[in-house]
A and B are shown apart, each in its own frame.
Chain A
Amino acid sequence: MADDKEREGTELVVAEYHRKIKEAFEVFDHEANNTVDVRIKAGAFLPGLSSGVSREIGTIIRSLGCCPSEGELHDLIAEVEEEEPTGYIRYEKFLPVMTEVLLERRYRPIPEDTLLRAFEVLDSSKRGFLTREELIKYMTEEGEPFSQEEMEEMLSAAVDPESNSIHYKDYIAMMVVDES
């Protein structure tokens, strides 16, 4: 009995996940043909990107609350891509993989204090801020480097124009508020 109920519960959860994934997918499905571009160029609806490559499928996955690294994202895309990469991802392939990701609660988002500590590590002299140059250096040379666009995008919101530096504590607080 308890097993049945549990199974029913999981079924309901899966059904809800399916609908959520479908919603997110459909919003990016330009041609309404159940496929999504793996990469898009100069998206007309994304004025933040003027050129270069972006990954819609990555955006969809992240919009569903997951935070895979670039490497993890790459692997995930490989799982859902066609055998012969057409540049498009089909919904039928995407759905089961994404459902698993959600059920297993993979790629959990970074908690706020972890993010703060990361900034503090980079701010070795504990000034409470990073200079523009420092942030650029770290973001474009370390880890999974930013593209020029990503860097510019981040700077436009993070840099305090008067001091030309990033007061990371304030910045984080602002982003958190924006998302709530």
Chain B
Amino acid sequence: MGCGTSSSTKDRKSEKALKAALVIQNWYRGYSARLKARQRYALTIFQSIEYADEQGQLQLSNFFSFMLENYTQIHEKDPELVARLFGRTLQDSKDRQEYVSFVDVPDSYNGPRLQFPLTFTDIDLLVEAFKQQQILHAHYVLEVLFETKRVLKQMPNFTQVKTSPTKEITICGDLHGKLDDLFLIFYKNGLPSGSNSYIFNGDFVDRGKHSMEILMILFVSFLVYPNDLHLNRGNHEDFMMNLRYGFTKEILHKYKLHGKKILQILEDVYTWLPIGTIIDNEILVIHGGISESTDLNLLHRIERHKMKSVLMPPISIDEDQDTDLKKTKTGANVVPREGKTNESPSEQLPKHEWEQVVTVFSASNYYEEGSNRGAYIKLCCDMTPRFFQYQVTRATCLRPLYQRVNTMESSAIRILKERMLSRKTDLIRAFQLQDRSKSGKLSMGQWAFSMENTLGLNLPWRSLSPHLVTTDKNGNINYMSTFQDIHIQKPVKEAQSTLIETLYRYRSDLQIIFNVIDSDHSGLISMEEFRAMWKLFNSHYSIHIEDFQVDELAERMDLNKDGSIDFNEFLKAFYVVHKLEKLNKSDANLL
């Protein structure tokens, strides 16, 4: 009952509390670390697949080169096809008035109305309107595009810019249709103006849902402040990339009536965007960076508007002019991969650390909510550049980390599984090769090896395995469980699995090819065109599908029996069903 006893009780109590606290802290730190590792794995998956996709683009671009090289042979067989494929030029003769005047703005239209010549009021107008989710009428879109093209045409390949102690310049990287990021930049850094210069270094569009709105804000700002808002062409300012990565879809969806017109003009506007910007004669700002073989003198000289697409070789009738273009092609085709985020905190970097090349990327949450931050750079004269980072969040307060990680992880696993599914036949073959005893099981090492080799993805397979396959009590993998809760929905029941799988695997490439053939954007191609294209595709990609199988499938897809195929419907039909979750078709953004 004396002091001694109560103090020892107290001691024991506080010792117990200490131990308890230690247990909880220890557990929490372990848990938190595992969360972060999961997040990092998800990011690795996104990056690997994106990288693999870029390699895929290379293959497509080679396909077009192959076709061009075999031009004469193809031409003999199918002159019309060739004309459609390679004869894409905008009828420059078409009067702008013709286009724009045909598009009336109804009185009932509640969206923003631009007034030409444009002023800063129009920039504000657009920003406010887009914040309210309004859509700019096609009439104004077309006007802006025409006017932008007219001004861009007068510019050289590289814009020369000077800074001064009182005039800094802000450089932004990829935005990829993420309007919220642009708004955040403007909020933090101010709208563009005569005293607030910006360089936007390409990739304004594709992937995000508001590519059109970003483009309109940037173009209008450019028209109002042509000496202070500088735009560089990125590899996504390209009609073929747009076909694959979503901008074309966005346009046709938002502008059901006039979308096709917009696409046609846009294709041309892209080619007039400058290649890069040079600051104070010292700093080159260019999308995709440079390589050892970059020759600035050459780049200054080339006729940039002839480069229709990164994927398509530049075509011109004049042989002499061709040589310069051909030289640039090798550089322009292989777009070096960009780093995703600037990892510096918002403070000044010592000069030696930034000597040569800096990469800036401005689309936060690029892969998925929570995946990364965005950044921009402020530069001035001889002063060291300053970096600013930010991240858009949808809610007013951040969701708990584990929820964000879960979102990222499910998203990543989902696309990984779809990838695995698109190579199902090859994977099974690889598994069976290693499974001599035909037990249906492989060791972890054998399974990981097969996955890595077949898919060509450098991923932490062992750590990912619990999400992808089932394991028996000895730690061996039941490899067929790789495909257990996922399958490709067959558009036609009788079609053979390998055929379906192949078409699913190449659907992005096929979509681009079909869209290229379909120069009038009707959505339809003829059976003969389909067959001709397929034959070429087949041989170039070394696919082992019999012609008759494709014929059969094509006939079944020709629902109208009028000899034409609605290929968008055709390709849309190949979607993946994840048995364990409700499929949201609008999420099938790979198509």
* A contact residues vs B (CB 8 Å cutoff): 15-16, 19-20, 23-24, 26-28, 30, 41-48, 51, 58-63, 66-67, 69-70, 109-110, 114-115, 117-119, 121-122, 138-139, 142-146, 150, 153-154, 156-157, 175, 178-179
B43/A59 in contact, CB under 8 A: no
Q: How far apart sit A138 and B43, CA to CA, in the bound complex (Å)?
A: 34
Known: A15-B445, A142-B22. 12 other contacts (CB 8 A): A26-B460, A27-B41, A44-B341, A51-B345, A62-B33, A62-B34, A69-B26, A118-B23, A121-B19, A139-B25, A143-B22, A178-B402
Contact A118 B41, beta carbon cutoff 8 Å: no
A119 and B20 form a contact (CB under 8 A): yes
Check A62/B29 contact, CB under 8 A, given A47-B391, A156-B398: yes
Contact A23 B463 (CB under 8 A): yes
The residue in chain B whose Cβ has the minimal distance to the Cβ of A157 is B400
| Residue with the greatest number of chain A CB neighbours at <10 A, chosen from B33, B43, B342, B398 | B33
Q: Are B36 and A144 touching (Cβ within 8 A)?
A: no
With A and B bound together, what is the CA distance between A30 and B24 in angstroms? 31
A175 close to B20 (CB less than 8 A):
no
Output the least CB separation between B391 and chain A (Å): 6
Kindly identify which residue among A44, A117, A154, A156 contacts B342, using a CB–CB cutoff of 8 Å: A44
User: Once the chains bind, are A20 and B401 in contact (CB under 8 Å)?
Assistant: no
- Within B14-34, the residues touching A (CB, 8 Å) are 16-34
B462 and A19 contact, CB distance less than 8 A: yes
Partner of B37 from A24, A69, A117, A119 at Cβ < 8 Å: A24
Q: Return the CB mask of B368-389 against A: 1 if under 8 Å, else 0.
A: 0011110000000000000001
A158 to chain B: closest residue by CB: B400
**Structural contact, B460 and A47, CB atoms closer than 8 A:** no
Closest chain A CB from B185 CB (angstroms): 17
Nearest CB of chain B from residue A81's CB, rounded to whole Å: 19
Q: Which residue of A lies closest to B364 (CB)?
A: A47
15 pairs from A and B in contact (CB 8 Å cutoff): A23-B460, A27-B44, A43-B343, A45-B341, A47-B404, A58-B29, A61-B33, A70-B25, A70-B29, A110-B27, A115-B24, A115-B27, A122-B24, A156-B400, A178-B402
Q: Are B22 and A179 in contact (CB under 8 A)?
A: no
Q: Would you list the 3 A-B pairs with minimal beta carbon distance, nearest first?
A: A62-B33, A63-B37, A143-B21
Interface residues of B (CB under 8 A from A): 16-37, 39-41, 43-44, 341-343, 345, 370-373, 389, 391, 398, 400-404, 406, 444-445, 448, 460-463
Distance in angstroms from B291 CB to nearest chain A CB is 19
Is there contact, CB below 8 Å, between A142 and B37? no
Query: Quick check: B462 and A23 within 8 Å, CB to CB?
Result: yes
Are the C-beta atoms of B30 and A109 separated by less than 8 Å?
yes
Say whether B463 contacts A20, CB under 8 Å.
yes
Task: Please name all residues of chain A whose beta carbon is closer than 8 Å to the beta carbon of B373 when the two chains form the complex.
Answer: 44, 47
Let me know if A48 and B21 touch, CB within 8 A: no
Contact among B20, B341, B445, B463 with A122 in the assembled complex (CB-CB below 8 Å): B20
Contacting residues, chain B, for A110 (C-beta < 8 A): 23, 26-27, 30
Q: A43-B343, A46-B36, A62-B29 are in contact. Are A139 and B462 (CB under 8 A)?
A: no
Query: Closest residue to A23 on the B side, CB-wise?
Result: B460
Q: Which residues of A contact B463 (CB under 8 A)?
A: 20, 23-24, 27, 63
Closest to A122 in B: B20
Contact with B28, one of A19, A47, A150 (Cβ below 8 angstroms): A150
A contact residues around B37 at 8 Å (CB): 24, 27, 59-60, 62-63
By the criterion CB–CB under 8 Å, are A27 and B40 in contact? yes
B372 touches A153 (CB 8 A): no
- Report the minimum CB–CB distance from A120 to chain B (whole Å): 8
Distance (whole angstroms) from the CB of B341 to the closest CB of chain A: 4
B556 CB, nearest partner CB in chain A, Å: 44
- Residue on B with the closest CB to A175? B31
Cα-based distance from A60 to B36 in the complex (angstroms): 9
* Minimal beta-carbon separation of A66 from chain B (angstroms): 8
A113 to chain B, nearest CB (A): 11
Q: Which residues on the A side are within 8 Å of B398 (C-beta)?
A: 47, 156
Q: Point out the residues of chain B lying under 8 angstroms from A142, CB to CB.
A: 17-18, 21-22
Q: Which residues of A contact B40 (CB under 8 A)?
A: 27-28, 45
A26 to B112, CA, bound (A): 50
- Complex-state Cα separation, A15 to B444, whole angstroms: 11
For A15, give the chain B residue with the smallest CB separation: B445
Please, which residues of chain A bring their CB within 8 A of the CB of B402? Answer: 157, 175, 178
Q: Are B22 and A45 in contact (CB under 8 A)?
A: no
Known: A139-B24, A150-B28, A175-B31. A45 touches B371 (CB 8 A): yes
Is A62 within 8 A of B30, CB to CB?
A: yes
Q: How far is the CB of B508 from chain A (nearest CB, A)?
A: 27
CB pair B24–A48 under 8 Å, yes or no, is: no
Minimal Cβ-Cβ distance residue in B for A25: B460
Q: Which residues of A contact B44 (CB under 8 A)?
A: 27
Residue of B with least CB distance to A176: B31
**Residue pair A179, B448 in contact (C-beta under 8 Å):** no
A143 to B24 Cα, complex, angstroms: 9
Are A42 and B462 in touch, CB under 8 angstroms? no
> Chain B residues near A16 (CB, 8 Å)?
444-445, 462
Docked complex Cα distance between A108 and B19 (Å): 16
Shortest C-beta distance, B314 to chain A (Å), equals 34
Residues of B near A63 (CB, < 8 A) are 33-34, 36-37, 463
A48-B493 Cα distance, complex, nearest whole Å: 47
Q: Are B21 and A139 in contact (CB under 8 A)?
A: yes
B403 — nearest CB in chain A belongs to which residue?
A157
User: Cα distance A136–B341 when bound, in Å?
Assistant: 34
A156 pairs with B401, CB closer than 8 A: yes
B445 to chain A minimum Cβ distance, whole angstroms, is 7
B325 to chain A, nearest CB (A): 35
Query: Within 8 Å CB of A27, what residues of B?
Result: 37, 40-41, 44, 460, 463
Q: How far is the CB of B24 from chain A (nearest CB, A)?
A: 5
B577 to chain A, nearest CB (A): 25
Whether A118 contacts B28 by the Cβ 8 Å rule is no
Chain A residue numbers with a CB within 8 Å of B343 are: 30, 42-44
CB closest residue in chain B, given A159: B400
Residue of A61, A121, A153, A154 near B16 (CB, 8 A) is A121
Measured CB to CB, the closest approach of chain B to A106, in angstroms, equals 13
Q: A59 contacts B36, CB within 8 Å?
A: yes
Residue of A nearest to B369 (CB): A47
CB neighbours (8 Å) of B403 from chain A are 157
User: Which residues on the A side are within 8 Å of B404 (C-beta)?
Assistant: 47-48
Whole-angstrom distance from the CB of B448 to the nearest CB of chain A? 7
User: In the docked arrangement, what's the CA distance between A78 and B328, Å?
Assistant: 52
Instruction: Count chain B CB atoms within 10 A of each CB in A41, A47, A150, A175 and give the residue with the most.
Output: A47
Residues from chain B with a CB closer than 8 A to the CB of A119 are 20, 24
Residue pair B406, A178 in contact (C-beta under 8 Å): yes
Name which residue of chain A comes closest to B365, CB basis: A47
Q: How many whole Å from A89's CB to the nearest CB in chain B?
A: 16
Complex: how many Å from CA A127 to CA B33? 30
Judge whether A42 and B22 touch: CB under 8 Å: no
Residues of B within 8 A of A145 (CB): 25
